[in-house]
């Protein structure tokens, strides 16, 4: 069994290791080998040099292409650049607020966002493909080198650092801000990889695992529990187009066709699956699916029972705050943590139940 790396350098520090991994890093809509992934990261490291980005600097990006977005995130991790994650669906006012508050040294965004956001910033703004006229705010003087694709075409590969400060910020993500202004949560490299080790152990991941995750990559449930978790286990990550209700049949086909072992989704998708006709109860009979993981929202106990009864697949529930990276409490798959209708038990952390004044409450008080 491949041991989970403790740092990003351990995961990709030796190019020969990546070349020897026979599994595909990405499968389904676009097959990408680990050798190709390493090449992409080294080319992006070359772009970071052109942008004069150093370890500890912040790069804000918002890209709708999942494979480019995931490669960019992994490249940031490997170069010690702090990734600031922003959803491409973010509105103009909020986008400008996030840019001001995160104070990035560079920005990479989808072409359409240049017109939609109209960013008011002095830092370099790099578009993904087609160039818009933004005057001095667009990096570079030549249009062909002013986009990420253009820069990659003229940039040589660069070596990845052999050491990353584990107490530096790996990424910054802003909470939803339902009760106040969005709060930027900073996750260090040390905290990130400690949590990746926890998830690997809890979900029993290995190089033969094949993961399908339907969450957006601007959210930890999608980014950390998808491409990064797969990459750190030399496993494979399957990705469909952005989920829509009418794509449910495609997702089920992917689970069977791509021999998915771990399917990570939210309770809404689980509910949609339960609405399938009675003749669908055996759809996963020929699949390699070990269990389905529910995340990001409350999982109704009745829905939980209905799913497991109908499909005969164990449903695992995980819960955690943004500050815990993805999750801290796990219900299953281990029998010692599994109790339907609960959030499970804490893994590698301490959980306290307190009252309104911060005092711990006694057993059976709640």
Greater pLDDT, 236 or 325: 236
pLDDT digits 0-9 by tens, 91-134: 999 999 999 999 999 999 999 999 999 999 999 999 998 543 33
pLDDT at 135: 34
Measured on CA atoms in the order 152, 8, 185, 330, is the torsion positive or negative?
Answer: positive
Average pLDDT over residues 232-258: 82
Band of residue 362 on the pLDDT scale cut at 50, 70, 90: confident
pLDDT at 104: 98
3-class DSSP assignment, residue 330: strand
pLDDT at 18: 60
pLDDT at 3: 66
Residues 6+ apart with CB under 8 A from 118: 92, 96
pLDDT at 171: 97
pLDDT at 143: 42
pLDDT of 341 above 50: yes
DSSP code per residue over 13-45 = S-HHHHHH--SEEEEESS-EEHHHHHHHHHHHH
Band of residue 13 on the pLDDT scale cut at 50, 70, 90: low
Chain mean position to CA 108: 17
pLDDT of 140 above 60: no
Nearest alpha-carbon partner for 343 in 309, 294, 302: 294
Q: Tell me whether strands 329-331 and 169-174 are parallel, antiparallel or unpaired.
A: unpaired
- Mean pLDDT, all residues of the chain: 87
Band of residue 154 on the pLDDT scale cut at 50, 70, 90: confident
User: For 133-147, 173-187, 312-326, which range has the lowest pLDDT when averaged over its residues?
Assistant: 133-147
pLDDT digits 0-9 by tens, 26-69: 887 778 888 889 889 999 999 999 999 999 999 999 999 888 99
- B/e letters for 211-226, b = 16+ CB within 10 Å, e = fewer, are bbbbbbbbbbbbbbbb
pLDDT at 245: 57
Helices (H), 177-219: 189-202
φ and ψ of 263, to 5 deg: -110, 120
pLDDT at 54: 96
pLDDT at 355: 87
3-state DSSP percent of the chain in helix, strand and coil, to 5: 35, 20, 45
pLDDT of 150 above 50: yes
pLDDT of 79 above 90: yes
φ and ψ of 101, to 5 deg: -75, -30
pLDDT of 8 above 90: no
Greater pLDDT, 244 or 79: 79
Nearest alpha-carbon partner for 273 in 251, 288, 290, 296: 251
pLDDT digits 0-9 by tens, 189-240: 999 999 999 999 999 999 899 999 989 899 899 999 999 999 999 899 998 6
pLDDT digits 0-9 by tens, 264-318: 999 999 999 999 877 778 889 889 999 999 998 999 999 999 999 999 999 999 9
Chain mean position to CA 327: 13
Q: Across the beta sheet with 58-62, what order do the strands follow?
A: 125-127, 106-109, 58-62, 82-85, 169-174, 184-188
pLDDT at 187: 95
């Amino acid at each position: 069994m491949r041991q989970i790396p403790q740092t990003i350098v351990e995961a990709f520090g030796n190019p020969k290791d990546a070349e020897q991994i026979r599994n595909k890093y990405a499968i389904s809509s676009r097959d990408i080998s680990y050798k190709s992934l390493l090449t992409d990261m080294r080319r992006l490291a070359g772009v970071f040099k052109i942008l004069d980005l150093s370890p500890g600097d912040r790069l804000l990006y918002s890209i709708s292409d999942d494979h480019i977005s995931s490669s960019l995130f992994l490249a940031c991790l490997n170069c010690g650049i702090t990734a600031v994650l922003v959803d491409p669906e973010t509105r103009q006012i909020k986008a400008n607020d996030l840019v001001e508050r995160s104070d990035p040294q560079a920005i990479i965004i989808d072409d359409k966002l240049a017109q939609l956001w109209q960013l008011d910033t002095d830092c370099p703004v790099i578009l993904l493909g087609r160039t818009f006229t933004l005057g001095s705010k667009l990096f570079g003087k030549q249009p062909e080198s002013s986009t990420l694709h253009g820069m990659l075409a003229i940039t040589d590969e660069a070596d990845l650092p052999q050491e990353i400060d584990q107490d530096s910020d790996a990424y910054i993500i802003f909470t939803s801000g339902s009760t106040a202004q969005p709060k930027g949560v900073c996750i260090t490299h040390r905290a990130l990889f400690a949590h990746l080790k926890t998830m690997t152990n809890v979900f029993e991941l290995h190089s033969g695992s094949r993961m399908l995750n339907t969450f957006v990559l601007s959210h930890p449930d999608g980014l950390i529990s998808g491409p990064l978790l797969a990459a750190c286990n030399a496993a494979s990550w399957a990705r469909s187009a952005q989920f829509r209700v009418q794509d449910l049949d495609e997702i089920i086909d992917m689970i069977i066709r791509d021999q998915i072992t771990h399917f990570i989704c939210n309770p809404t998708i689980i509910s949609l699956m339960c609405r399938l006709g009675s003749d669908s109860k055996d759809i996963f009979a020929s699949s390699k699916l070990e269990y389905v993981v529910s995340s990001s929202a409350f999982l109704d106990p009745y829905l939980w029972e209905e799913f497991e009864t109908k499909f005969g697949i164990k449903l695992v529930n995980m819960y955690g705050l943004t500050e815990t990276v993805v999750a801290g409490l796990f219900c299953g798959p281990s029998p010692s943590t599994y109790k339907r209708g609960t959030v499970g038990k804490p893994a590698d952390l301490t959980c306290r139940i307190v009252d309104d004044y911060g005092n711990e409450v006694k057993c059976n008080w709640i």
